């Protein structure tokens, strides 16, 4: 009675409807799940291929032989299941190599081999064969040479002697190639208008006597190059100017003369352009009679770096100086008297002659004395 009443109730029909809905959902999604499983299995089992560029390795006694002519990399096409192809493409845990262990010096055609690929994968190596040359290995040391354009530095600047660190490198290769090496060169590009020393890391090249680059291995491949750049110097010859320094006797006159009439100065063009003479300072302290002194010629502080000669001999001629108030007239009369009585210096004689002609000129020696005083 109660069961019949339950069957007739709305709850019973709701439960029946829910059960049918669950069964219908399960039936419908069973086909989808089966299709997904089939698609996944099909994807994993599908074939795929990929092409990779890998380094070519050599199996050879590298301490004894040097090999040339082979490509650095080769192409490898791998085919098989998509999962395996994807794995090998990502890991690349295989190698392509040329077995040269049983070959002697000479030119050979060698079939390339692989190691590490699964037997379930198909592969193709391109090229399948390579032609290589095996030579006896040789190593030799060479000093680093330099190649650069001196004209790229600034105006009035010059390039000094370049240096390299290290300054000696080794070249390794076939003995026939090593014997062709004329020099190992660091080609340096100097920036235009350079006015100061600069350094640069430079790649080295091995050249033959015609400038052709040779196929050898240089160790190290680069060196640090330093090129000094400095102001260009030149020389200029200028007359000397003799001047007295210090305090001489007040009753004496001093005349300077030297066989060194000019000196040669070295310095930059711009510094030398403003110099027209070179002053030689001659100390007269404590000198009371005619004497000759050797005076060292020092470089002035205005850009001149060298003075030639290093020293000059200067004659200091000492004479008596008049204390009369009319110094010019007395000096002239003394000069004339000295000339007539004892035939003294030529400058006094010239002064006396000049006085007789004009009646007013003083001697050159007295004039010098007046200027010094």
Q: What is the pLDDT of residues 157-207, one digit of tens each?
A: 888 889 999 999 999 999 999 999 999 999 999 999 998 888 999 999 999
Nearest CA to 142 out of 178, 188, 184, 173 is that of: 184
Distances (CA, A) of 330 to 38, 86, 340: 138, 120, 15
Provide mean pLDDT across the span 52-58: 95
Please give the pLDDT value at position 38.
54
Percent of the chain with pLDDT over 70: 78
Give span(s): CATH 2.170.120.30, the chain.
47-135
Task: Kindly report the average pLDDT of the chain as a whole number.
Answer: 80
Q: Where in the chain is the domain with CATH 2.170.120.40?
A: 137-231, 233-320
The pLDDT confidence band at residue 85, using thresholds 50, 70 and 90, is very high
pLDDT value at residue 247? 86
pLDDT for the residue 35: 55
Could you tell me which CATH class the domain 233-320 is placed in? Answer: mainly beta
CATH assignment, 137-231: 2.170.120.40
Pairing label, strands 113-115, 95-99: antiparallel
- Distance (Å, whole) CA 275 – CA 249: 33
Q: What is the pLDDT of residue 80?
A: 93
**pLDDT tens-digit readout, 218-258:** 999 999 999 988 877 788 899 999 999 988 888 889 999 99
Contacts of 188 (CB under 8 A, 6+ apart): 146, 147, 148, 162, 200, 202, 225, 227
Q: What is the mean pLDDT of residues 313-322?
A: 86
Asked whether the CA dihedral 355, 356, 357, 360 is positive or negative, the reply is positive
Residue whose tokens read 């920036």: 191
Fold of 47-135: RNA Polymerase Alpha Subunit; Chain A, domain 2 (2.170.120)
What gap in Å lies between CA 174 and CA 183, rounded to an integer? 16
Query: Which tens digits make up the pLDDT trace of 321-353?
Result: 753 333 333 333 333 333 333 333 333 323 333
Q: Residue 364: which pLDDT band, with cuts at 50, 70 and 90?
A: very low
| Residue 369 scores a pLDDT above 50 | no
Alpha-carbon distances of 113 from 103, 104, 244, 321, rounded to whole Å: 16, 19, 95, 111
In this predicted structure, the answer to whether residue 146 has a pLDDT above a threshold of 80 is yes
pLDDT of residue 25 exceeding 80: no
């Amino acid at each position: 009675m109660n069961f019949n009443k339950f069957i007739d109730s709305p709850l019973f029909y709701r439960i029946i409807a829910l059960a049918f809905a669950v069964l219908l959902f399960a039936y419908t999604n069973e086909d989808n799940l089966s299709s997904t499983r089939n698609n996944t299995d099909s994807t994993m089992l599908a074939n795929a291929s990929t092409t990779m560029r890998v380094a070519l390795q050599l199996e050879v006694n590298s301490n004894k032989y040097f090999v040339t002519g082979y490509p650095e990399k080769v192409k490898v096409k791998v085919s098989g299941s998509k999962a395996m192809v994807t794995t090998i493409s990502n890991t690349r845990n295989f190698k392509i190599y040329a077995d040269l262990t049983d070959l002697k010096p000479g030119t050979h055609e060698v079939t390339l081999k692989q190691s590490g690929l699964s037997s379930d994968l198909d592969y193709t190596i391109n090229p399948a064969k390579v032609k290589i040359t095996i030579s006896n290995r040789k190593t030799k040391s060479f000093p680093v040479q330099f190649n650069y354009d001196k004209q790229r530095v600034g105006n009035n600047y010059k390039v000094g002697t370049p240096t390299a660190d290290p300054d000696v490198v080794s070249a390794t290769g076939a003995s026939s190639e090593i014997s062709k090496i004329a020099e190992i060169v660091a080609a340096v590009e100097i920036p235009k208008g350079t006015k100061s020393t600069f350094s640069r890391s430079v790649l080295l090249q091995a050249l033959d006597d015609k400038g052709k680059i040779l196929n050898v291995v240089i160790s190290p491949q680069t060196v640090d190059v330093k090129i000094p750049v400095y102001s260009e110097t030149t020389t200029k010859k200028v007359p000397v100017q003799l001047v007295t320094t210090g305090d001489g006797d007040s009753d004496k006159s001093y005349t300077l003369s030297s066989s060194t009439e000019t000196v040669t100065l070295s310095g930059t063009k711009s510094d030398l352009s403003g110099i027209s003479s070179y002053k030689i300072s001659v100390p007269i302290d404590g000198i009371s009679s005619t004497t000759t002194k050797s005076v060292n010629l020092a470089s002035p502080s205005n850009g001149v770096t060298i003075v030639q000669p290093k020293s000059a001999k200067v004659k200091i001629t000492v004479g008596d100086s008049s204390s009369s108030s009319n110094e010019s007239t007395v000096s002239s009369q003394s000069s004339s008297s000295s000339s007539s009585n004892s035939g003294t210096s030529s400058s006094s004689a010239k002064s006396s002659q000049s006085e007789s002609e004009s009646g007013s000129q003083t001697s050159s020696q007295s004039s010098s004395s007046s200027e010094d005083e």
